[in-house]
A = this chain, B = another copy of it.
Amino acid sequence: MDSLREILGAIAKFRDDRDWAQFHTPRQLGAAIAIEAGELQQAMLWKSDEQVASLVAEPAGRSELAREVADVLIFGLLFCHAIGIDPIGAIGDKLEENAEKYPVEFAKGRAAKYTSLRHDDGK
């Protein structure tokens, strides 16, 4: 599979083959995303930064993380479908909004939240 359009079609087919759209309200999908985000964090829990780096470096560990983040993305795309928006358009709009909130000249190399960004001298 090599394009987003194809993958969106595959996700919709998976759902519709099982007649699952009836369960996919925005609230349920929002909860599903949070649950999968938790499982993704679980895969790294109690590990040191070095142990996480080892996990990423090993095929089995990377594959575990890939499966968990894939679930996040799948439910995120299903959420877009459920509320009738185009995910690519939504991401593009959000990047533009973030670009205004985090202008390069203020944000470069700094992780401060945008609300404190212009007044913060450091980090």
Interface residues of A (CB under 8 A from B): 1-4, 7, 10-11, 14, 17-20, 22-23, 25-28, 30-42, 44-47, 49, 51-52, 55-56, 62, 65-67, 69-74, 76-77, 79-80, 82-85, 87-95, 97-99, 102, 104, 107-109, 111, 123
Contacts and interface: CB of A to CB of B under 8 A. Distances in A.
15 contacts: A7-B88, A11-B91, A18-B108, A26-B52, A27-B27, A27-B52, A34-B37, A34-B40, A51-B123, A69-B76, A69-B83, A70-B94, A73-B87, A74-B91, A77-B91
| Number of copies of this protein chain within its complex | 4
How would you classify the secondary structure of chain A's contact residues: helix, strand, loop or mixed? helix
B44 A11 contact: no
